[in-house]
RNA sequence: GGGCCUGUAGCUCAAUUGGUUAGAGCAGAGCGCUCAUAACGCUUUGGUUGCGGGUUCAAGUCCUGCCGGGCCUACCA
């Protein structure tokens, strides 16, 4: 038994996430957490909402609400949807929590004491009408290179040239349209990542078992151009963690807050504190402080590829730079993007399926299965309704659901809703045990390695073995001449359902719980030995024929959804 | 522009890191079964591995040049 700390990239607060966001971090993290718990390990699985930054302020303004109120509401919404998808967080925190405020300010003070913070004076675009400094991409104007009239301050979407907002002709605020923009001087704190480049590079070089996607992005940032650049960690905003040195004020930084990407990863730690303060745990330090028991913790992070630089460089720089014994990540699992029907998911255009809509259409397990079995591990993947319908109908309804149905219904009609007695295993049953043993070993290996798609394929392969056995054994035939043998075959079939429910939980938790409830075998845990596992439900054990575990998606439904989610939410 | 990833059967993906005849699932075809959600099982059609060179006893895998797709490029998060 080991101890595993698992975090999912924390979703941004401004709105409901789409399926691509879900499959890129929260869902695979949940799969891994559920698997490790099922194997008897001690797991702390944390996630939170990322609440600071300009977009949160703007979204709140658009909703006509104070930003703190808006965030509190959206946090509740996201938490509810997470429960709907059965994401088994031990705690779903908030980056705006007092715990994170304190800890972020603490880290900043430690980094300053270590000489890793420098002050930089710079000029930035300020919009008097908006009352705020504008991040580059909130400024639009005419591209000096190609004349495109809606070029953004960071890059022209037309000619792809990288721009500086001061280069734009006739710049205007995308928030208000204001054109009276001016350059104002402002002072910010920078984290001297460049000073830690060698340390970070050595650390990354040691991670030879990480996904290529993870290490290649990290190395690019380490070695690109002049190497790892210092990063501004403060912003001129109202909503965020006030810039302080621990409890003390930071002269010259009054009215400023830390940059979201500085405080967001620190929330991983603060979230553990929130977990304790919420009465769900008693000791967060044994998960996070290597001097207080976290030495034997294995820490795994899940995220989309866009998050990789912050998790491989910025956050480790914060932790290492503090000089304190915080736990560093051991393994970073990163994902590519999920596309939707030949294009990208688009939050602004309402294109694709969002988490709340998905649950309105079908239960969580259908989505969990498809998303995980098609997780964008090696390359971007694509969601299509046709593929979704085909996969769900075949894998879940036909292969697994129908197996449970045919076994239990046959048993009920010939022996009643009780595990039948009599008969003994023969060579066919022993061969099945061997096949299941091999298949389970492969499935286990892939789950340990977080090879999500392969694990799903292996699991499906195990389900298929049940149908193959049933077809060969044909209890409906043997029953006519040899009821005792038929009883044995059916008994084995019932135990197979229990076995499947015990090992499939990480993918489809609700269906597994329903099957186990029907079998009155809620205590089923992970099987150590197949032969034992398939003999657990003993003759005389009562059960109920389960309801349809997975229904099929009809062509009419599929066509309806295709239209409904094509755009304009 | 630069960097990284990617291109394998109609579709979605594998291929133990250079090693026999490139494999699965779905879709298609045929047969079987009749317990079951018109479900299940067996058999089977289908590939010049994007294209052209090169290295090697041996290339889907390594090198190189094209062509296509995607991502990142540090003030969105």
Per run of 10 residues, the mean pLDDT along chain A (length 569 residues) is 94 90 92 97 97 91 93 96 97 97 97 95 88 85 77 72 77 86 91 91 85 84 83 92 95 93 95 98 97 95 90 93 95 88 76 91 96 88 89 95 97 97 94 94 92 92 96 96 96 98 97 97 94 96 96 93 75
Positions 190-219 in A, CB within 7 angstroms of strand B: 193, 212-213, 216-217
Task: Give the pTM.
Answer: 0.95
State the CB neighbour count (10 A cutoff) for residue A310.
21
Give the pLDDT score at A163. 74
Give, in order, the Cα–Cα distances in Å from A520 to each of A487, A495, A498, A543: 19, 12, 10, 6
Please check whether the domain covering A384-533 is classified as CATH 1.10.730.10.
yes
Which pLDDT score, from 0 to 100, does residue A122 have?
86
- Range 233-252, chain A: CB under 7 Å to any strand B atom: 235
Q: Report which of residues 408-427 in chain A place their beta carbon less than 7 angstroms from any atom of strand B.
A: 409-410, 413
A493 touches strand B (CB under 7 A): no
pLDDT of the residue at A456: 93
Domain boundaries, chain A: 3-104+261-381, 116-196+209-249, 384-533
Residues 9-68 of chain A sitting with CB below 7 angstroms of strand B: 12, 50, 52-55
Are A40 and A444 in contact, with CB atoms under 8 Å apart? no
Q: Protein footprint on strand B: which nucleotides are under 7 Å from a CB? A: 1-7, 11-14, 24-27, 32-37, 39-42, 69-77
Residue A369 · residue A22 · CB < 8 Å: no
A53 CA from B60 C1′ (Å): 46
Q: Which residues of A are annotated as a binding site for Zn(2+)?
A: 143, 146, 156, 159
Q: Does this complex have an ipTM over 0.90?
A: yes
**A396, two tokens:** 């879940």
- CATH tag for A116-196+209-249 (out of 1.10.3720.10, 2.170.220.10, 3.40.50.2000, 3.90.1260.10): 2.170.220.10
Helical (H) or strand (E) element with A435: helix A427-448
How many Å apart are CA A318 and CA A159, to the nearest integer? Answer: 36
Q: Which of A544, A551, A510 is closest to A83 using CA atoms?
A: A510
Phi/psi for A178 (5° steps) reads -55, 140
A442 CB closer than 7 A to any strand B atom? no
- The predicted pLDDT at position A151 comes to 77
Q: Which CATH architecture has domain A3-104+261-381?
A: 3-Layer(aba) Sandwich (3.40)
Which nucleotide minimizes the distance between its C1' and the CA of A547? B37
């Amino acid at each position: 038994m080991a101890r595993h700390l698992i975090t999912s990239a924390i979703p941004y607060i401004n709105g409901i996430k789409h399926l691509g966001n879900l499959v890129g971090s929260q869902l695979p993290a949940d799969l891994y957490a559920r698997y490790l718990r099922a194997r008897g390990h001690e797991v702390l699985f944390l996630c939170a909402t990322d609440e600071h930054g300009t977009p949160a302020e703007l979204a709140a303004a658009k909703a006509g609400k104070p930003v703190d109120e808006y965030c509190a509401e959206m946090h509740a919404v996201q938490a509810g949807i997470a429960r709907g998808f059965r994401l088994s967080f031990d705690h779903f925190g908030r980056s705006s929590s007092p715990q994170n405020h304190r800890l972020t300010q603490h880290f900043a003070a430690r980094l300053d004491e270590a000489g890793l913070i420098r002050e930089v004076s710079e000029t930035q675009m300020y919009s008097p009408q908006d009352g705020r400094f504008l991040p580059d991409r909130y400024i639009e104007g005419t591209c000096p290179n190609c004349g495109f009239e809606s070029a953004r301050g960071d890059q022209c979407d037309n000619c792809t040239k990288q721009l500086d907002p001061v280069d734009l002709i006739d710049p205007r605020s995308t928030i208000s349209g204001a054109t009276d923009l001016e350059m104002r001087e402002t002072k910010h704190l920078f984290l001297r990542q460049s000073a830690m480049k060698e340390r970070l590079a050595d650390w990354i070089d040691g991670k030879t078992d990480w996904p290529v996607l993870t290490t290649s992005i990290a190395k690019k940032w380490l070695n690109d151009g002049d190497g790892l650049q210092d990063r501004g960690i403060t912003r001129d905003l109202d909503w965020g963690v006030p810039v302080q040195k621990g409890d003390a004020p930071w002269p010259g930084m009054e009215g400023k807050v830390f940059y979201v990407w500085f405080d967001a990863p620190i929330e991983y730690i603060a979230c553990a504190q929130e977990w304790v303060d919420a009465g769900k745990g008693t000791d967060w330090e044994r998960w996070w402080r290597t001097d207080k028991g976290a030495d034997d913790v294995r820490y795994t992070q899940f995220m989309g590829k866009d998050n990789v630089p912050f998790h491989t460089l910025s956050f480790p720089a914060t932790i290492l730079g503090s000089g304190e014994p915080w736990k560093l990540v051991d393994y970073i699992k990163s994902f590519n993007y999920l596309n939707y029907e030949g294009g990208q998911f688009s939050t602004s255009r309402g294109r694709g399926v969002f988490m709340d809509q998905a649950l309105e259409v079908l239960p969580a397990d259908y989505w969990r299965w498809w998303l995980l079995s098609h997780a964008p591990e090696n390359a971007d993947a694509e969601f299509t309704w046709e593929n979704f319908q085909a996969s769900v109908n075949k894998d879940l309804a036909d292969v697994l659901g129908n197996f449970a149905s045919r076994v239990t219904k046959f048993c009920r009609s010939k022996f009643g809703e009780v595990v039948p007695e009599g008969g003994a295993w023969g060579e066919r049953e022993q061969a099945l045990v061997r096949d299941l043993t091999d298949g389970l070993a492969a499935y286990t290996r892939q789950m340990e390695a977080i090879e999500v798609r392969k694990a799903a394929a292996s699991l499906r392969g195990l389900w298929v073995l049940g149908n193959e056995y049933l077809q060969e054994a044909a209890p409906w035939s043997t029953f006519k001449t040899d009821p005792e043998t038929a009883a044995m075959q059916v008994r084995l079939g019932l135990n197979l359902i229990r076995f499947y429910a015990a090992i499939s939980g990480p993918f489809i938790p609700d269906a597994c719980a329903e099957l186990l409830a029907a079998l009155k075998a809620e205590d089923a845990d992970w099987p150590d030995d197949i032969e034992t596992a398939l003999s657990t439900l003993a003759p005389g054990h009562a059960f109920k024929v389960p309801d349809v575990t997975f229904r099929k998606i009809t062509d009419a439904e599929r066509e309806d959804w295709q239209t409904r989610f094509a755009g304009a939410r």
